[in-house]
Amino acid sequence: MKVLEREDNNFLYLFLVLIIGTLIGVLSISFFGINPFTVISIIFKGLFSKIGINNILVFMAPCIMCSLGFLVAYKSGVFNMGVQGQYVIGAILTSIWGAKVDLPAPINIFLALLIGAAGGAIWTLPAAILKSKRNVSEIITTMLLSFVAPYVGLYLAGLPEIADPTRINVVATLPVNSSASFPSIFKGTEINISLIASIVFALIVYLFIWKTRVGLRARATGLNSIAARYAGINISKITNLTFILSGALAGLGGSFYILGVSHAYYARTFIGFSGYGMTGIIAAFLGGMNPLGIIFSSLFFAILTTAGLFINVNTDIPVDYITFIEGIILAFVCVPWIMKSIVKKIIKVRG
Amino acid sequence: MGIFSEIFTFGLIASTISLCSPLVICSLGGLISDKSGIPNIALEGIMSAGAFCAVVFYIPFESPWLATIIAGLIGGLIAFILSLICIKGRGDAIISGFAVNFICWGILPVISMQLFNAGMTPRVKGFSTGIIQFIKNIPFLGDIFQRNTILTYLGLIVLPLLISILMYRTRFGKHITATGLDPFSADTKGINVFRVRYIALILSGILAAIAGADLSLGIVSRWTSEVVAGRGFMAIAAYMAGRRKPLPTLGICFAFAFLQALSTRLQLLNLIRSEVIQILPYIITIIILGIIGKGEFTSFAKPYYRE
């Protein structure tokens, strides 16, 4: 199998990883006394219903954006593990803007997105400054910042001018004005323009990283920062730029979620690590650190999230189970040679 | 001055001491594995798993020590799985650590749902506090030490000494340092790099899980999915700020624990919205890291393999 030996052609492995991860996830559900075949039938019945397809296409956009955010930083050697935090900040700022400001539709949507992106970018600044000035690992700082973000969201959403007084037991912001919400593309569904926008962003990120001078410098920094410094590249400038861009993309992911999916900030759904920020990181790895791959891996994770919701409704398995499957997939992504040797063994047995 | 005397009580010192011990235990575990060249990013997840297992095994056996030991063994097992991925499998230590974190974050609420039909465990009694009876009657010491358990003292006094002796006075400790500094030279010298790293990583997993047990059985008396709340990452920040030396790490952990205790205390007083106070430990941790600087992982998690 010559195809399997080539390093750049790793989509085949990643696809195998995806299938094996999902299989392990679905089969290990039987430990909890639930027949995996009933789960599979629940999933298929759910996914091919109108609401299932609707949810998949709606969930894709925020996942793609968070994933692109992680990718941009990763290519220049920055591990932005706090995508979740930037996503939350983008979401809360967008929902506040959308609830409070009423302008003509295109301008209002544009401004709401802009403020979300700015929020995400600002949330990376402490980590970016500490990394470039004080040489502090961005993994720890971004992670700690993403523990802070839900509290900021909870605080802002609970302010009396912003909180929705009609909701009693949950903290939520006022719903977004219709002038700031994304209009749906197909009548009767929630599928909206954010899906197209996120795919366009994937294209832009691809062009930025592989076709521009800044992108080349970022990749050089990521591959070998010492060599890049000798080549005359200002490393801290490049990493700061990609770090902030990464935060802006993740913040836009939050904006897309608010304007396209939930239309208000429900504080409870942004606590913990089952959000799209964390899923986006795994989607970036499963997508082989490639914008095109990310679109497909985000489609997969959107399917997985939707399936998790259906399983949660029909059995007593919480949606956190999806995080477990994501962890299994990420563990397999770490060790690609295991997949290679498995495939080789199968081929040997056959031939 | 009324507010100050309400905040800075002996209770604050007491809860600083008890909150400090899980941080110290976890942080020293992380220190060992980082010294060996594999930073254990999964401390957070393993700590949560340890806290959960301790409560689960406490309920049938009613013995906090047995529960803590079982939790430690399970933590060691999780760290062994992690070491299979990042030492044997030559995976990136950061990514595989996060994978283990995701697995723990995902599976614990599911198991909790199956066992207790809720996202959290029921309250348990856990470790008995106020172990030294005569100290209760001494005016100030009584207030400070009455809430602590034996595990607190083990974590705060015995463990830092043990780790210091292990790192600086034994052959194995020197092997750990050598392996972390330059695995190639260490291998040439005849040190089994893989064995040293396996042991260091498993030790850190055991300690992280015991820290979790200390947290759930000694302080919070139950497990919820938010009980660890970033303490694993704070432990990493603590040993980084402590320059990977056991005693400075202990000092930094005291500072972090004081912030956590202060934040809990301020929440009880209800002066401002609790969200503002809850972010305090995280923000100050980041600031401390920034002031001390150079918080990088050793050798940045490069997998080692022989040519």
Q: Please count the residues of chain A.
A: 351
Chain A CB contacts of B101 below 8 Å: 327
Q: Taking residues A121-128, what's their average pLDDT?
A: 93
Give the nearest partner residue to B225 out of A81, A143, A272, using CB atoms. Answer: A272
DSSP A166: T
Q: Which residues contact B282 (CB under 8 A, 6 or more apart)?
A: A144, A145, A147, A148, B230, B234
Does residue A252 carry a pLDDT above 50? yes
Provide the pLDDT for residue A88. Answer: 94
Please report, rounded to a whole number, the percentage of residues in chain B having pLDDT higher than 90. Answer: 36
Closest by Cβ to B289, choosing from A141, A272, A282:
A141
Task: Residue A138: name the closest of B289, B189, B281, B98 by CA.
Answer: B289
CA of A222 to nearest chain B CA: how many angstroms apart? 13
Q: What is the DSSP string of B79-148?
A: HHHHHIIIIIS---HHHHHHHHHHHHHHHHHHHHHHHHSSSBPPP---SPS---GGGGGSHHHHHHHTT-
The tens digit of pLDDT for each residue in B224-245 reads 888 888 899 999 999 988 888 8
pTM attached to this predicted model: 0.90
CA dist., res. A159 & res. B243, Å (int)? 41
Sign of CA dihedral A224, A226, A227, A231: positive
- Report the pLDDT value the prediction gives residue A351, as an integer from 0 to 100: 59
Please give the mean pLDDT across all residues of chain B.
85
For residue range A52-68, what is the model confidence (pLDDT) as tens digits? 888 888 889 999 999 99
Radius of gyration, CA atoms only, chain A: 21
Give the C-alpha distances (Å, rounded to integers) separating B207 from B9, B18, B51, B268, B295.
31, 16, 12, 31, 22
The amino acid occupying position B137 is: N
Q: What is the mean pLDDT of residues A250-272?
A: 87
Q: Residue A184: beta bridge partners?
A: A192
Chain A to chain B, count of Cβ pairs less than 8 Å apart? 153
Query: Looking at CA atoms only, how far is residue B290 from chain A in angstroms?
Result: 6
Q: What is the pLDDT at residue B16?
A: 87
Mean pLDDT of chain A: 86
> Residues of A with CB below 8 A from B85's CB?
331, 334-335
Number of Cβ atoms within 10 Å of the Cβ of A125? 14
φ, ψ (nearest 5 deg) of residue A234: -80, 95
Token reading at A216: 């080349």
Contacts of B190 by beta carbon, 8 Å cutoff, 6+ apart? none
What's the confidence (pLDDT) of residue A2? 43
Residue A18 · residue A303 · CB < 8 Å:
no
Per-residue confidence band for B302, with pLDDT thresholds at 50, 70 and 90: low
Side chain identity at A219, as an amino acid letter?
Answer: R
Which chain B residue is nearest to residue A77, measuring alpha carbons? B300
Q: Nearest-CA residue of chain B relative to A272?
A: B226
| Optimal mutation site among A125, A154, A330, A340, interface B, most CBs of chain B within 10 A | A330
* B298 chain-A contacts, CB cut-off 8 A: none
Cα–Cα distance for residue pair A314/A42, rounded to 1 Å: 8
Residue A4 one-letter amino acid: L
pLDDT given at position A6 = 45
**ipTM confidence:** 0.89
Chain A residues within 8 A of B290 when measuring between CB atoms = 126, 130, 134, 136
| Inter-axis angle of helices A321-334 and A276-286, nearest 10 | 30
* Contact between residue A219 and residue A76 where contact means Cβ atoms under 8 Å apart: yes
pLDDT band at A5 (very low <50, low <70, confident <90, very high): very low
Q: Which of A139, A151, A285 sits opposite B275 (nearest CB)?
A: A151
Instruction: Say if residues B228 and B44 touch (Cβ distance below 8 Å).
Output: yes
Residues sharing a CB contact under 8 Å with residue A153, sequence separation 6 or more, in sequence order: A88, A89, A91, A92, A265, A267, A270
> How much is the pLDDT for A4?
42
Q: Which of A147, A278, A335 sits opposite B230 (nearest CB)?
A: A147
